[in-house]
Amino acid sequence: MPDPAPLFELSRASAGYGRSLVFEDLDLTLPAGCVIALCGPNGSGKSTALRSMRRLLPMTGGRILLSGHDLKDWTAKTLARTVAMLAQSPDAPEEMSVRDLVMLGRYAHRRPLSGATAADDRACAEALEATGMTSHAASAIGALSGGQAQRAWIAMVLAQEAPTILLDEPTNHLDIAHALDVLELIRRMNREQGRNVVVVLHDLNFAARYADHVVLFEEGAVAAQGSVPEVLTEATISRVFGVDCRVLHPEGHARPIIVALPRG
């Protein structure tokens, strides 16, 4: 049986904002079936690459393939049914209920001017259950804690029922407990539901703990990619981030722990 097509293939891809390119002639292949973490310093291109993969940012050169098919050939509705994305710091009216927010994830499946169907109600109920937000369905977004609000947004993404999910810094502004809850949920989406997940993460320890495949960006280029042990090495981290560190392997822990050392 032939190997499945890669999830995304960027070939000589160029993208940016205005006249400023964030990356140029970028080649990147992301495998299907796993949790992929995009990491790197601020401004290195990871969020720009994520937005390009969802066709939210026009390409200025090159091409992107999604499951072997050119991204420009996908219709907007088919793409929305295939790839769901949660951007950084999403916004909604504070008075909107959690259930109404989650129902927004069903737009790609609904006909114009039509009401919610039984399938929409089922998808929303399952998304609320998966994120532990069922008891908050009637709550206003503005009344939620930071962790609850983030889970509500992820429930909206889940309700979209897309096989591929893109998340841009989903742990941003969350305390450690809520961040771990969100990352555990992300891993369950992959392990239990078979969804492809591409997530931008600043915290390398989160990437080391939850990702199957890591891509390190540096100044608009791929500095390294592969499994956690292949990419998150002391030499590579020090070169990309300009800090000394130690990669520790505590007994009884399958994943490494990265400790940054004080400068000087």
Indicate whether 3 belongs to any domain. no
The per-residue pLDDT for 1 is: 47
- pTM of the predicted protein model: 0.92
**Sequential DSSP letters for 149-175:** HHHHHHHHHHHTT-SEEEEESTTTT--
Contact criterion met (CB below 8 Å) for 39 and 216: yes
Indicate whether 214 belongs to any domain. yes
Count Cα atoms within 13 angstroms, Cβ side, for 179: 15
Per-residue pLDDT tens over the stretch 147-195: 899 899 999 999 999 999 999 999 887 889 888 988 999 999 999 999 9
Residue of higher predicted confidence among 254 and 226: 226
The per-residue pLDDT for 233 is: 96
Residue range of the domain that includes 161: 8-260
Q: What radius of gyration, in Å, describes the C-alpha atoms of the chain? A: 19
Closest CA to 157 of 119, 177, 185, 180: 185
Q: Measured between alpha carbons, how far is 185 from 183 in angstroms, rounded to an integer?
A: 5
- Where residue 263 falls among pLDDT bands split at 50, 70, 90? confident
pLDDT exceeds 80 at position 113 = no
Residues 6+ apart with CB under 8 A from 132: 151
Residue of higher predicted confidence among 134 and 264: 134
Helix and strand element counts for the chain (H, E)? 9, 12
**Amino acid code (one letter) for 134:** T
Indicate whether 183 belongs to any domain. yes
- Where residue 112 falls among pLDDT bands split at 50, 70, 90? low
Joined together, the tokens standing for residue 223 give 């500095």
Indicate whether 140 belongs to any domain. yes
Q: How many domains does the chain have?
A: 1
The per-residue pLDDT for 165 is: 97
pLDDT exceeds 80 at position 114 = no
Indicate whether 2 belongs to any domain. no
Contact criterion met (CB below 8 Å) for 149 and 97: no
Indicate whether 111 belongs to any domain. yes
Per-residue pLDDT tens over the stretch 40-79: 999 999 999 999 999 999 899 999 999 999 999 999 999 9
Residue of higher predicted confidence among 45 and 114: 45
Give the mean model confidence (pLDDT) for residues 3-17.
91
Q: Measured between alpha carbons, how far is 93 from 88 in angstroms, rounded to an integer?
A: 16
Cβ burial, residue 182 (10 Å; 0-12/13-18/19+)? buried
Contact criterion met (CB below 8 Å) for 200 and 119: no
Q: What is the CATH number of the domain that holds 238?
A: 3.40.50.300
Indicate whether 256 belongs to any domain. yes
Question: Rounded to an integer, what is the distance from CA 175 to the centroid of its chain?
Answer: 19
- Where residue 254 falls among pLDDT bands split at 50, 70, 90? confident
Indicate whether 14 belongs to any domain. yes
